[in-house]
Structure 1
Amino acid sequence: MISFLQAIWIKSRANNKDAATDFFKTIDIKKEVKSAYLHITAHGVFEAFINSKRVSEDVLMPGWTSYTKRLRYISYDVTDMLKQGENELKVGVGKGWFFHNVDCWGTDALKHDEAALMCTLEVIYSDGSVDEIPTDNSWQTAKSNIIYNNIYNGETVDLRIKDSKKTKAVEISYTRNHLIPFEGVPIREQERLQGVKLIRTPKGETVIDFGQEITGYVEFTAKAPKDTEIIIKHFEVLDKDGNVYTENLRGAKAAYTVISDGKPFTVKPSYTFYGFRYIQVIGLKSVKPENFTAIVVHSEMKRTGYFSCANELLNKFAQNVVWGQKGNFLDVPTDCPQRDERLGWTGDAAMFCRTAAINFDVKAFFDKWLNDLEADQLADGSLPHVCPYINVYWHGANGFNSPVWEDVAVIAPWEMYVAYGDKAILARHYRLMKKWVDYMINEGLRNGGGKMKHPWTDGGYGDWLSLEDLYQEEVCGETDNGLISTAFLAYGIKTLMRVNRILGYEDDRDYEGFLNGTVDFFRSEYMTNGRMKQETQTAAVLAIVFGLTDKPAVTKAQLAENVRKHGRITTGFVGTTYLLYALTEAGADELAVDLLLRTEYPSWLYPVTKGATTVWERWNGIFPDGRFANAGMNSFNHYAYGSVLSWMFRRLAGICPDEDEPGYRKITFSPAPDERIPWVKASVDTVCGEAASYYEKTADGWDFEFTVPAGSKAGAVIFGKKYRLKKGVNKISVKA
C-alpha cells in the first residue's frame, strides 16, 4: 500500500503565469536499494528526471481526463536510477490541457492553469526498511527556462536562463478525491521523420517539408548568436501559389520559439504538440533539412490491421487513414491536432471506432475514454459533445443534443465488444449506455406526448459536412435531424436490448415496445411505401443499415438510384460511415466500388490526388481550382471520412467478424472481388490470432487464400457459394 495519497499538493510561491514550473528535491541514499518507485501526478503535464535522466518515455503525462472527477497518477520503477549518496529529483510541470478556461478545474488555492505537483518517491531498502519522500514544503521550485507554454500556441524556451532562483514550495489545499490509478495507455514518441525538402516560397519564406502530416513536434540542432530568436511555425499545407498557409489554424499560433544563448543546441518542446507537415523556419541564416526531425507522438497502440491492393491510390488512402488515427489518438480521440480545438468530439469517435479497432489495438484507449464520458454524463443521462468536457459545446435540458455524437455512448462499447469479444467491456460501460438510451427514450416520449417520436429535431450537427451541393459551405447537410435522431434512437434501443441478453440482465423498461414505436414513427414520418420522403443518400442509408424500412427492396433501389443519379458521394460524417455497407446490402457492390475508386471531386481519393497524407475534414477542403474551403473549419487531418476503411477490410477483403461470436471467434470471409482491383490483401491481428485474406484475378477466374486464426472458426462465401474453412491457410480457386 503506497502512501501516495498522503502526499501534499505543492505549487510555486510565485505565479509563473505562462511559464512552466520546475520542482526540486534532493534525496540522500545511504543504504542498498532493493527497489524504488515514483508515484506522481500533476495539475498540468509533467516530465520527471532523477539525476538529470528522464524517468520515463511517456510524454504529456498524466494526460487528459475529466479532471474534476478523474485525475490519473502513475507509478514508475526508478530502482536503477538511484545511486548511493545525493540524488536530485526534478519535475517540470507545464499547463497542458489545464490551459482550457474551465472554472471547475481551479479553486481559490489553485487557478485552473496554474502548475501544481503531487508525488511520492518510495524507496525500499535491502534490509526491509522503507523511505517515503512525499511532496511538501521541503521541496523547492523555480521558474523554468520554458518561459511560455500553451497547447494551442506552442512553447518558448530561453536558453540563456540556466539556474533560476529557487524558492520554497507552497503546500496547498487541493482535492485528492479525484485521483485514480493510471488506466488506458501512455502517450509516447513513436517515430522520427527527417526533413525531406527545403523550400523557398514565392514570398521568400524558408520552409521544410517532412513529406507526411503528423502530430508531435520538431527536434532540431542549430547555433545562432546570443539573443537570436528562432521561430518554428507549424502548418499543414501550402497555398495554391506555394506559400505558407496558416489561416485554417484559426487562433492557434502553433509556434516553437528558441532564444539562443550563443552556443550549439539541440531542442524540442516539452509541454505541447502540433499538427503539421511543414514548418517555416525564421531567424536562422543556414537551414538544412537534415538538422530537423519531426517526432511523431501518439498514444501507445499496437498496429493490428494492414490493407493493400492493386490500386496505389487506394493504398495511399489506407495509409492516410492510419496516419489520421495516429495523429488524433493522443490520449483522447480528437477531431484534429492543429487548430485551436483538438477536442474529444464524440461524433467523430462514434463514426470511426470500428475502423480504429481494425487498425490498432484500441481496447484500453477507448476503455479509458468511455470512463471519462461516463464521468461527464449528467444525472438525466445527457452527454456533452466533447469529452473531456470543457465549458463550450454543451448539451442537455438547457442546451442541445445531437444525434450520433452522444450515441457514441452505445456505439463505441458495442464496437469494442465486437472487436475484442470481452463482455467486461459491456459490463463496465453498461450504466453509461443505459442512461443514454433511457434519456433518448424519454425525449422521444416527451416530444410524442407519451408516444414514441423523434428525440430531437432542432440543433445538433446532422449529417455533418455532407455535400449535396458541390460548392456549398453549409455544414449540417440536408438530411432531417429528426430522421437521424429517430434512426439512432432505434439503433440504441436495439443494441441495449442485445447487451441485456448478453449480460443476462432483465429489461427494466418496455424496450421492445419503445423500439416498435420508434420504428413505426420512423416509417410513418419519413417514408412512403418503402421510399424515403427525403431524397438524400444518408436518409436511405440509415433506413437500410438499421433495419428500419418495411420494404427493403424499395429502399435499397432508391439508394442505388440516388447514387447513380449523382454519380458521387453526397453524405457527411454520418452517412459516409454506412454508405458502402448499405450498398452491399442492396446488392450493389459494383456501385460501392465505383464510389471508392472515384478520383474526381468529391471522393475519398480526390484528396490523395491533391497530395494528401492524412484524411481531410471536408470533401471540399481544397476545391479543384485550388481554393480552400472556409478557413474557420478546414482541417487536413480529420479521421471521420476514413471510416470507410472498415468496409474495405470487411467487404472488399472480406474479413467479417460475427457479432454473435465476437472477437473474431467466428469469421465469415465474404469478399467482393472487382476486376478493377485485380488483387487485394488484408490482415487483422485479432485476439484469436491473425485473420488474413488475399485474392487475385487469374486468366480464368480468381484465386483466394484465407487464413483462419487458431482460436477461430470460419467459413467463406464467394460469389454466393459457401465454403467450409479449416484453421490455418485455405486456398480456393473459382472459375469465371
Structure 2
Amino acid sequence: MNDIQVFNLTCEYQINPLGLDVKKPRVSWKTHSDKRGTLQIAYQIQVSQTENNFQNPLWDTGYTETDQSIHIEYGGPDLASFTRYYYRVKVWDNHGRESEWSEVAWWETALFELEEWKAKWITPNPEEIDPATKAAFLLRKEFLLKDNITSARIYATGVGLYEISINGERVGNDLLTPGWTSYSKRIQYQTYDVTSQLKGQSNAVGIMVADGWFKGNLAWEGKRNLYGEKRGVLLQLLVRYQDGTEEVIVTDESWKTSTGPILYSEIYHGETYDARLEQGGWSEPSFYDAKWKHVIVHDIPLTKLVAQENNPTRVTETIKPQSVFVTPAGDTVLDMGQNMVGRMRFTVDAKAGTKIILNHAEILDNDGNIYFGNLRTAKQKVEYITKGEGPETYAPYFTFQGFRYVKVEGYPDQENGLSLDHFLGEVIHSDMLPTGEFECSNPMVNQLQKNIQWGQRGNFVDVPTDCPQRDERLGWTGDAQVFIRTALFNYHGGPFFTKWLRDLEADQLPDGGVPFVIPNVIDGHSSAAWGDAAVICPWTVYLSYGDKRILEEQYTSMKAWVEYIRSQGDNEFAWNTGFHFGDWLALDAKEDSYFGATPNELVATAFYAYSTQLLRDTANVLNNAEDVKEYTDLLNQIKKHYRDEFITPLGRLAVSTQTAHVLTLMFDLVVDKVKERVAKDLNEMILENDYHLQTGFVGTPYLNLTLSDNGYHETAMKLLLQESYPSWLYPVTKGATTIWEHWDGLKEDGSFWSDDMNSFNHYAYGAIGDWMYRVVAGLNMDESEPAYKKILIQPEIGGREMTYARASHNSMYGQIVSAWNITHEQIRIEVEIPVNTTAHIFLPNAKIEDVVESDITLKEATGIINLLQKENGVSIVVGSGSYHFMYTNERGLKQIYSDDSRIIDLLAGEETKEILEAFVPGISNPNGVLASLRIQPIKKLLDHPMAKVNREKLNKLIGKLNSIEFELDTVKQ
C-alpha cells in the first residue's frame, strides 16, 4: 500500500452522480498521507468513456503543477448526453512522492439539449377525470423490449409529487420528487437507473402523482393551485442494447390513467388511503386497463426543465416509539422520544373497512394531553382503511409531518394496549452527508447540539423551511441566512443551497427586490436581513466549499439586491423606507408585538453595509476591479452615515438595545475607542440583565460572537450556560429535542406562547452552533483561503463548568478536529489537519519551553512550520497531521495551591461538617482538620489520603460562605 493515497473522488459535490446537466462538471478529491506536513504539488486527471481502459483517455491533464484539489473543471471535448464518464486522479506531494491512481469514479450526463426530449407532458383528460379531484392519479403504459439490455435510464418529473414503478417494483428511493422549485420558471427532473428492473418482451411502467407543492394548499390563507390547476407527468425511458441499438419509451397520448387508493394527499394536512381501492398489478404488464381513462398533452414548456440539483429527499433514519400511554383525555398516544419530521409506517391485520387514524403533534399540554393548537389549520392527519386480506403495511406517500407524539384511533384492540413493534417512525429530509460534530463536558450543551442538528434535519426538506408542522413550512430567507454557517458545518449543503439560490434568483423581482420566502408563494418582499440572503448565502457557500462558481452564478442577483437597497428613499447611503421585520421576536418588543425595539432604520442600514461589504468581497474574488472600487466607496459612505446617525458625539450608540450593539460590532460599523465603548456597553447590558439575552432573530445569531471577539468571552459562556428563561438551555430544561421558535414556547407554569406562532422545531436560534464550533471548540478558517485551506485552531479554553470541548468537520480537504481538555494541572489540545492544508494553532497561556507535542518538545516535533511565543500564549503554524499538545495549567495550579488566609479564616468560622464531608467523605474529625487549615495551606488537605475532591461542590460552598468568587478559572488575590 502506498503511503500517499487519493480517495473520496466527487463530481459536483457528489459521489458518482447519475444525471448531470452540467456541461463542465468539477471534480474534487481528498488525500491520505502517513507523513505530517503533506502538501499536493501536482495532479493528473484522466477521463475516459471506458471504465477499465485509460490508454486513450478522452481528457488527460498530464502532470499539472498546482496545489488545487477541489473544483477542478473538466476541460476536455464537449460532453454528450446520456453518457457515463469515468475518471481517476493521481497526485505528487512535497515529500517527493507520487501516488498510485485512485479508484475509478464516474459521473453520468442527462439531457443537455431541448430537442433530446422526445416525451410529452401528459395529464388525465379533464372530460373523464376532474383535474380538481383530491385523489392521486395513476398513469400507466405497457411496452415491448428486446433481449440483451445493457442499460436503461428513466428521465422523469411531475407537476405535483410523483412516484414511479416498473413491473410492479418501485423505482429508486427518493421521496417528494421532483422537489419544490419555482415551478413557473424551473422544474427539476430526476434520473433513474432501471436496468435491473426491465426484461425482454413485455414490460409496464406506472406513475402516481399527487398535488404536492405544485397545486396543493400552501401558506396559512388556504391558497391552492398557485402554480397550476392540472397535475402532469413527463417520462422518457432510454434503453440500450448489446448490439448498440437504442429504444425510447415516452409519455404521450397512448398512456392510460385512473385514480386509485390515495383519496387525498396534502403537504400540511396528511393523506387518506383506502386499501380496498388498490388495483393490484396496475404497473405490471398484462394488467386489464380497458376501463381506464385517456390522457391529453399538458401545456407545460420543456424549457423549464433542469436536472436534479440538490440532494434527494429520502428516509435517512428509523425510530421506534419509546412508549405508548393513555392521556387524561382518554387518547392513546405514541411517544417517539424525539421531535422528528417524516412519517409513521405501521402494520395492521384487521377486517376490511377498518379505519385507522393517526394525528401528529409536537408536544403535550400541562395536563398531559396531546396538543394540536400550534398547528393552526394544518391537520397532520393520516387515515388508512384496510382491505382485510391479512397483515398490511402502510406509510404515507406524498406528505410529511412534524411530530413527537402520535394519537392513534381505530387500531384493532387498542384499548388493550398497542404493540410498539407495529409502528415505526421514518425520518425524512434532504439526504445531506453529515459533516460536523460538537461535544463538551456539559451534558445540556450536548443536548443543545443535538437539538440544532435535529432542527436542521427537520427543516431541510428540499428547501430550508422555517418549521415543519403548521400551515407554513416555507423557505423564509431570513431564517436561512442566519443559520447557514451553522448548517454548512453540520451537513454538506453545497447542492442544497445551490438549488435554493437558483430559485431565489428566479423569483427575484425585476427591480432586485427579494421575496420573503423562496420559492415565493406569499405577498411581500425585501425586508432587511431577509432579502440579504441573496448575498449572505452564496458568500457563505463560497467560504465553506471554495465554490467560486456559485459566486459567478449569483453575482447578478447579489448586485441587484444591493442596488435595490441603494435605490430606496432619497439617501443612497441609508435604508430608512419600506417594511421590515426588524429584530423579529426580540424580547424587548412592546407587549403583544412581534417586532423588537431596535429601530428598523438601524437594522436595515447595518445589513445594507454588510451586504455591500460581501458584494465588494465577491467582486474581488471574481477579479472585477471596477466593482471593487465602486462598492468599497459605497461601503465607506454607508458606514459614515451610520456613525453620523447612530453614534453620539461622546462615542456611545444612541440606541440602547442589545441587538443594536451586536449589529454595530458584528458588521464593523465602528472602530477603535468607539468600538471598545460599544462592546463594553453591550457587556454591561448583559450583566445588568443577569446574564440573559433580549435579542430576536436578527441579533441572536451574532450575540456571542461579538462578545467573544471583543474580549467578553466569559460573558458569552455564561449566556450559553444560562438555564433560566430566556436562554438556549431553558428549552433543554423543559425536555426540548429541537430548537424552539420562541424562547418560552413552553412557559415555566406549563402554559404555551400564543398558538398563532409557536413552533417547537424552528432552527433560527440554533445559529449559536456557529459560535460553539468556531470559538468554544476553536475550529475556524482563515477566510482569505476558503474551504478550510488555511485552518485556524484558536479555542477559548475553560469557563465555568466546561472542562472539555471537541469539534470535528469533514471539509472539502478532509477531517479537521479541534479538541481541548483542562484539569487543575494540565491543558491538552488535540488537533487533526487534513492533507494539502495548513493550520495556525494558538495555545492559550502556554510557554514554548513548557509545551510537549506527542511527548517531545515543540522544537523537536515534525510538521511545525513556525513557532512564536506571544504574551498570552504560543502561536504555531503546522502542516497536515494529528498533533497532541500538553502543557501545565499554571493558572489552575496557582489557584489550587495558594494559601489564601482570608478564605481559611472564613471557613473556620462556619459550620464545618458539611463542607469537609463534601471534601473528604467519611472524615472522622472535621473540626480538627479545619483547625489545621489555620496553619496549613489548602494543598495539604488536597494531599489527604482520604481526599475525594469534589471541587465543584466545594467552590459553591466557598462562594456561599465568603460572598466572593473562587472559581477554577479565576484567581482573586
TM-score category of the 2 structures, normalised to the smaller one? over 0.9
Using the TM superposition, name which of 592-601 and 531-540 deviates more: 531-540
1:280 and 2:420 equivalent?
A: no
Query: Are the structure 2 counterparts of residues 110 and 698 from structure 1 closer, same or farther at C-alpha, using a change threshold of 3 Å?
Result: closer
Partners of 1:111 and 1:640 lie apart in 2 by 28
Secondary structure class of the residue paired with 1:548:
coil
Question: What residue number does 1:641 align with?
Answer: 765
Distance in 2 of aligned mates of 1:123 and 1:693 = 51
Q: Secondary structure at the match of 1:433?
A: helix
Are 1:697 and 2:812 counterparts? no
Residues 595-634 of structure 1 aligned to structure 2 (within 5 Å): 595-634=719-758
2:325 counterpart residue number: 199
1:693 positional shift = 1.1
Counterpart of 1:572 in structure 2: which amino acid? G
Cα shift readout 1:148-182 (whole Å, capped 9, x = no counterpart): 01111110000111339411222233222211122
Query: Contact conserved, 1:9 with 1:174, CA < 8 A, in 2?
Result: yes
1:483 to 587, 590, 602: 602
What is the Cα deviation at residue 135 of structure 1? 0.6
Q: Shift of residue 73 of structure 1? A: 1.2
1:72-83 equivalences under 5 Å are 72-83=188-199
Q: CA RMSD in A?
A: 1.8
Q: Which residue of 2 aligns with 1:468?
A: 588
Do structure 1's residue 494 and structure 2's residue 621 form an aligned pair? no
Gaps of 5+ in 1: 104-108, 396-400
Report whether the alignment pairs 1:333 with 2:464: yes
Q: Is 1:557 the equivalent of 2:677?
A: no
The verdict on how the C-alpha distance between 1:113 and 1:260 changes in structure 2, with shifts beyond 3 A counting, is farther
Establish whether residue 417 from structure 1 lines up as the match of residue 542 from structure 2.
Answer: yes
1:144 aligns with 2:260: yes
Amino acid of the structure 2 residue aligned with 1:203: A
- Structure 2 counterparts to residues 320-399 of structure 1, below 5 A: 320-390=451-521, 392-395=522-525
Summarize the Cα distance change of 1:199–1:393 in structure 2 as closer, same or farther, 3 Å threshold.
Answer: farther
Partner of 2:834: 709
Q: Which stretch of structure 1 is more off in the superposition, 656-665 or 222-231?
A: 222-231
Match of 1:524 in 2: 644
Q: Equivalent residue of 1:531, what SS?
A: coil
SS of aligned partner of 1:177? helix
SS in 1 for 2:388: coil
Whole-angstrom CA distance in 2 between matches of 1:424 and 1:145: 45
Question: Does 1:266 pair with 2:387?
Answer: no
Shift of 1:431: 1.1
- Is the Cα–Cα contact under 8 Å of residues 101 and 113 in structure 1 kept in the other structure? no
Quote the residue 1:316 is aligned against. 447
Q: CA deviation at 1:111?
A: 7.9
- Equivalent of 2:246 in 130, 139, 142: 130
Deviation readout 1:178-207 (Å, 9 max, x if unpaired): 111221111111000011100100000010
Cα distance in 1 for partners of 2:178, 2:371 equals 33
Q: Secondary structure of the residue that 1:489 maps to in structure 2?
A: helix
- For residue 277 of structure 2, give the secondary structure of its aligned residue in structure 1: coil
CA contact (8 A) 1:101 1:112 kept: no
**Number of aligned residues:** 719
Q: CA deviation at 1:224?
A: 2.5
Cα distance in structure 2, aligned partners of 1:270 and 1:513: 54
Name the structure 2 match of 1:35: 151
Alpha-carbon separation, structure 2, partners of 1:112 and 1:177: 17
Q: Which amino acid aligns with 1:682?
A: A
Distance in 2 (CA, whole Å) between partners of 1:273 and 1:671 is: 40
Corresponding residue to 2:179 among 60, 63, 67 = 63
Amino acid at match of 1:95: D
3-state SS of 1:60 partner? coil
Q: Percent identity?
A: 40
Please list the CA deviations of residues 335-394 of structure 1 after superposition, one character each: whole Å capped at 9, or x if unmatched: 01110000000000000000001001101110110000000011211110000011x232
Q: Does structure 1 conserve the Cα–Cα contact (< 8 Å) formed by 2:218 and 2:472?
A: no
Equivalence for 1:732:
885
Equivalent residue runs for 1:236-251 within 5 Å: 236-251=362-377
Matches of 1:242 and 1:99, distance apart in 2:
37
**Structure 2 vs 1, CA of residues 566 and 113 (structure 1 numbering), >3 Å: closer, same or farther?**
farther
SS in 1 for 2:117: helix
Q: Quote the residue 1:686 is aligned against.
A: 811
The 5-angstrom pairing of residues 293-308 of structure 1 reads 293-308=424-439
- Separation in structure 2 between the aligned mates of residue 423 and residue 569 of structure 1, nearest angstrom: 37
Corresponding position of 1:106: none
Q: Show the counterpart of 2:634.
A: 514
Residues 447 and 455 of structure 1 are in contact (CA less than 8 Å); yes or no, is this contact kept in structure 2? no
For 1:393, give the aligned amino acid. D
1:420-464 superposed Cα distances (whole Å, 9 cap, x missing partner)? 112122112111111111111222xx332xx522253x4221111
For 1:11, the equivalent position in structure 2 comes to 123
The more displaced of 577-586 and 501-510 is 501-510
Change (3 A) 1:169 1:110: farther
How many Å separate the matches in 2 of 1:405 and 1:100?
26
Seen in structure 2, the aligned counterparts of structure 1 residues 278 and 587 have a Cα distance that, compared at 3 Å, is same
Q: Distance in 2 between matches of 1:619 and 1:639?
A: 12
The structure that has the greater radius of gyration is: 2
Which residue pairs with 1:289 in the alignment?
Answer: 420
Are the aligned partners of 1:99 and 1:150 in contact in 2 as well (CA < 8 Å)? no
CA drift of 1:235 comes to 0.6
* CA shift for structure 1 position 225: 2.7
Distance (whole Å) between structure 2 residues aligned to residue 727 and residue 79 of structure 1: 43
State the secondary structure of the residue aligned to 1:169: strand
What secondary structure is seen at the aligned counterpart in 2 of 1:322?
helix
Q: How does 1:70-109 map to 2 (within 5 A)?
A: 70-100=186-216
* Distance in structure 2 (CA, Å) of the matches to 1:673 and 1:177: 56
Q: How does 1:531-570 map to 2 (within 5 A)?
A: 531-550=652-671, 551-567=674-690, 568-570=692-694
For 1:111 and 1:729, the matched residues in 2 are separated by 53
Contact kept, 8 Å, 1:48 with 1:54, in 2: the verdict is yes
Distance 2:213 2:725 in 1: 37
Deviation (angstroms), 1:712: 1.4
Answer yes or no: is the 8 Å Cα contact 1:95–1:113 preserved in 2: no
**Aligned equivalents of 1:693 and 1:135: distance in 2?**
54
Correspondent of 1:25 among 102, 123, 141: 141
Distance 1:70 1:202, change over 3 A: same
Asked if the contact 1:320–1:612 (Cα under 8 Å) also holds between the matched residues in 2, the reply is yes
Provide the rounded CA distance (Å) in 2 between the counterparts of 1:111 and 1:318: 38
* Structure 1 residue aligned with 2:7: none
Deviation at 1:489, TM superposition (A): 0.5
Query: Would the aligned equivalents of 1:24 and 1:140 in 2 still touch at CA under 8 Å?
Result: yes
| Aligned counterparts of 1:732 and 1:465: Cα–Cα separation in 2 | 44
d(CA) in 2 for partners of 1:65 and 1:57? Answer: 20
* CA distance in 2 between partners of 1:510 and 1:171 (Å): 51
Residues 113, 228 of structure 1: alpha-carbon distance in 2 compared, 3 angstrom cutoff: farther
Deviation string 1:531-574 (CA, Å, 9 cap, x unpaired) is: 22111111000110111014111111011011111120111111
Mapped partners of 1:417, 1:232: distance in 2: 43
Change (3 A) 1:512 1:319: same
CA positional deviation for 1:134: 0.9
> What is the Cα deviation at residue 96 of structure 1?
1.0
Q: Residue 531 of structure 2: which of 406, 411, 416 is its match?
A: 406
* AA aligned opposite 2:121: W
Q: Which amino acid aligns with 1:692?
A: V
Corresponding residue to 1:430 among 536, 552, 555: 555
For residues 725 and 699 of structure 1, what CA distance do their matches in structure 2 show?
28
Deviation of the 1:110 alpha carbon: 12
